[in-house]
Amino acid sequence: MSEQSQALPVLPDDAVMRAVEEDCITMCQEMIRIPSVNFGEGKGDEKAMAEYVAERLKEVGIASELIVTGENRVNVVAKIAGSDPSRPGLVVHGHIDVVPANPDDWSVDPFGGEIKDGFVWGRGAVDMKDMDAMILATVRHWARTGYQPTRNILLVFFADEEAGSVYGSRWLVKHRPELFDSYTEAVSEVGGFSVTITGGHRLYLVEGAQKGIQWMKLTAHGEAGHGSFINKNNSITRLTQAIAKIGEYEWPQRETKTGKLFWGKIAELTGEKYDPANVRPLLKHIGGAARMLGATIQNTANPTMLEAGYKANVIPQSASAVVDGRFLPAYEHELVDTIKKLAGDDIDVELLVRDIALEVDFHGPLVDAMTSSITEFDPAGIPVPYLMSGGTDNKALSELGIVGYGFSPVLLPADLDFFALFHGVDERIPVDGLRFGVRVLNHFLQNA
């Protein structure tokens, strides 16, 4: 491990930016204390969070619109005029809902927003009230100092991202598309964070691709009968055989253009061979990031739900299961065709939910601005694109032709298992990481 890669960046002693950092940290804490929990199935409440965001903008003279899409489902939209309106605008967005948290499982109050051991703790600390706070702190700083960005910037704080975005980005894209007129690019969550790999190299992962979704219901039909009889046409037996094949299937590894850049860089930095047909040997070099990135080298299909029967001594006529399928960009047909083949002709396969995969190019002025902003504050940092296993609101915006990236920069301790904190117990974000992140975001948005 080289001295350069070991050394953490030191932020300039800038009193103005120190104030911006404190504003960011305080707002992150305050937002965590607003339990904007999304329980799914339409049950969520972002109203108080949306009002908080609008009030923080109003304090510095930034007008916003609260867009109600359901009972207590509220989005916030604000426009910041650029000095060159001839340039296409940039959407900077976050979501203000969080997943539930069981206080009994946590070592702290999940909605306490306390600072302990150098971290801000609480539900939403990494997903994604940290980024919401960085966005707010940045534009509040601009308003106070009279700074005007070059491009028009549209701030959007979406509802319902944690349950399919029905009351958030999907709704706004469908019912208020005019909001996004003349905006061509977007940045949001799950990118720009540091991952320290073998050799002490500090990579900053910028999200440039996302897997797609196919949630499918598999149903087997058989012959109903008494549980004490011999039954060779048992629907449960037939179903479990099919889902066992699906759950145990070894999917072939596939190369995507984003994966080639990411895994190629890992191989280069660690002295390993890059084999697009087998990148699993590289996983050992990326620590806890392998938890998620290991799922981005292939399609995946996991049985997640089972439903059958109503009495212990009755063989049911049908049985069903749900499979969570995730496909790489350009490999959707492989996922669907393989599942149908593994299930067999006797199993009905019904599509429940589908969402697209995304992949954008990792070059151009916006990418240059992201990478230069990282290296401005961490000269040892190595920006690299990656493919994420889940999805963000950028999928909805892509329907309007908006090209989106994940860029919510944060500097992380080398030994922190960051991906385990998403929707996890004791979710927390390092205070110093927030300080770093808001400076990088401010620099990026001024040069985007």
pLDDT score for 11: 81
The enclosing domain of 162 has a CATH number of 3.40.630.10
**Tokens at residue 335, please?**
């996922």
Cβ distance 157 to 50 under 8 Å?
A: yes
Q: What pLDDT digit, counting tens, does each position of 22-63 carry?
A: 999 999 999 999 999 999 989 999 999 999 999 999 999 999
Residues present in the chain in total:
448
Q: Which of 117, 135, 125, 148 is nearest to 23 (CA)?
A: 135
Claim to verify: residue 214 and residue 203 sit in the same structural domain: no
Claim to verify: residue 10 and residue 107 sit in the same structural domain: yes
Mean pLDDT of 322-347: 97
pLDDT at 4 over 60: no
Domain boundary among 329, 355, 381: 355
Helix axis angle for 332-343 and 235-248, nearest 10°, is 140
Q: What pLDDT digit, counting tens, does each position of 254-308 carry?
A: 999 999 999 999 999 999 999 999 999 999 999 989 989 999 999 999 999 999 9
pLDDT band at 10 (very low <50, low <70, confident <90, very high): confident
Structure-derived torsion over alpha carbons of residues 350, 360, 300, 335, reported in degrees to the nearest 10: 40
Domain boundary among 332, 355, 378: 355
pLDDT at 415 over 50: yes
Cβ distance 83 to 149 under 8 Å?
A: yes
Claim to verify: residue 168 and residue 43 sit in the same structural domain: yes
CA distances from 325 to 29, 244, 259, 290, 302 (A): 36, 14, 19, 19, 6
Other CB atoms closer than 10 Å to residue 83's CB: what's the count? Answer: 10
Residue type, 277: A
Claim to verify: residue 43 and residue 185 sit in the same structural domain: yes
pLDDT band at 419 (very low <50, low <70, confident <90, very high): confident
Claim to verify: residue 134 and residue 144 sit in the same structural domain: yes
Structure-derived torsion over alpha carbons of residues 102, 103, 104, 108, reported in degrees to the nearest 10: 140
Cβ distance 165 to 158 under 8 Å?
A: yes
Q: Which of 291-295, 431-435, 439-443 has the least mean pLDDT?
A: 291-295
The residue segments making up the domain with residue 255 are 209-355
Q: What pLDDT digit, counting tens, does each position of 133-178 carry?
A: 999 999 999 999 999 999 999 999 999 999 989 999 999 999 999 9
Cβ distance 360 to 385 under 8 Å?
A: no
Claim to verify: residue 125 and residue 251 sit in the same structural domain: no
pTM score, two decimals?
Answer: 0.92
Number of domains in the chain: 2
Claim to verify: residue 152 and residue 22 sit in the same structural domain: yes
Claim to verify: residue 378 and residue 338 sit in the same structural domain: no
Claim to verify: residue 98 and residue 154 sit in the same structural domain: yes
For residue 227, report the phi and psi dihedrals to the nearest 5 degrees: -65, -15
Claim to verify: residue 8 and residue 151 sit in the same structural domain: yes
d(CA 286, CA 293): 9
Claim to verify: residue 160 and residue 116 sit in the same structural domain: yes
Mean pLDDT of 365-379: 97
The enclosing domain of 221 has a CATH number of 3.30.70.360
CA distances from 44 to 75, 162, 166, 402 (A): 12, 10, 11, 27
Claim to verify: residue 180 and residue 124 sit in the same structural domain: yes
Domain boundary among 355, 377, 408: 355
**Tokens at residue 42, please?**
């339409």
d(CA 250, CA 267): 23
pLDDT at 386 over 50: yes
